[in-house]
Structure 1
């Protein structure tokens, strides 16, 4: 890659990120590879805007009028990207100086790949993710072990081919938060692209903006998993998982008498699961139209992708 050439727009999504956005921007300013930095501010009201304006790196800022979540912000940013590559980066992540160079070079060496997932490490040294695997029941789960090829990328720190991303329909803005990365990777694979991993180090303050395990976390997570299956998975798989979710929801009042501790978990609360089913039902007509559009762009069968990756 020629010195001085800017190939990547690094998109940082922030919402009330005053406590950690400076560390993220400092790490980006120390990158060995030139790039464009675009921060999408999800209507923060905690002084984040002032910190962005004062930072010596002078990042470009796209301030949204309301909080559109990570997915909505990434979708808004995609319209502003004019480079061949687009990086997704959490505002609570601090990439090592060679992070971007390693990701760009990894993609350059893998012409069939449209995305590269970095290695996210927590403060205690635990590896959070080197990519995303697809479980046997259609969950997207972080993969802690390094692998040359992964099913999907972790949206906390990844670099994508912009042309491929736009071709497969961009980012599912309505997801708000969670599974936008798994859904995007699934559509890339259906369109014939690969996703690879890279030893590109990123430290991550996981959950600084959203609280894993909270009611909103489980609401978005469960809803978006089902929507992703309806959009991308084989029909039989999507129907089976949706029915399984609904049946378990229906029997929860009885199961809760014998498994009270499990029933107290947010994702096993009847009210939350009913909200999930209601949200999926409301989106079903639109989701089925999106499924058809994804199918028209696909070069691989849904069954082939599922058989290759589910549970592996």
Structure 2
């Protein structure tokens, strides 16, 4: 029978209990719930554009301090690390402010609007000697560690193809974050970052990128079909769309076998390994809600800070930039028709 190794987990009690300052109250709601429920990390301060929502968020999560501005929050001496959870066009300015204040920073995906902006943020963090990481939480899930072990062991043989999809039915609204250019709209920046990052984690950076897709009336991409190829010959077939619900699965095909990441592949779900005609399945049912898995990345960030690192060894700076460079090119090709 194939053998799925056990995930190598970081003990939440074995890492520094960092004090987190939170910018934004959207996905941050699920993040703070996850860290307070499943880790030793604690949110101690929050700021957001809407004062009423900020105070309600703080009360809901037992956060002691609210700040009137990003500058106030990053200057707070009781904050060790800043979590940037605002729309992506704001990430660059807010991350650079946190870095300039000497804070470690975890920035929601995508880390920036372009690869160039991502490089600027990451270089600033390195120069300041603080940890900067993109919040690609998928990379820190238990199943991601199992996948890494299988790749390191060569269980699947030579990797030939990666497939991944992420489609969600999103009604068109020109003012919404999904469709407004000023808010970083588009399927690639919202959903597509997951599929490109997954392919990158398996086959590395592509040297050939081909993409077709469609544009919403506002001019942002609302679907994409992508083919990637590396110099070694490995390929990826990726799809994303705002126009339909897709299986949200990912698969890796090698010369010896196949690995499926169960739906939704971006969260803690499970794996199915097929090797030499034998099938083994592992499911991750340890958490009550999918987004409780956000806690894994917070624990990982704390472990990196404790080790004095300035980048994530599981999601290094060069890869963060490479993924955004791929997205830049996909968006360019779709816009060009």
- Per the normalisation by structure 1, the TM-score is 0.30
Relative contact order (alpha carbons < 8 A, sep ≥ 6): 1 or 2 greater?
Answer: 2
- Per the normalisation by structure 2, the TM-score is 0.29
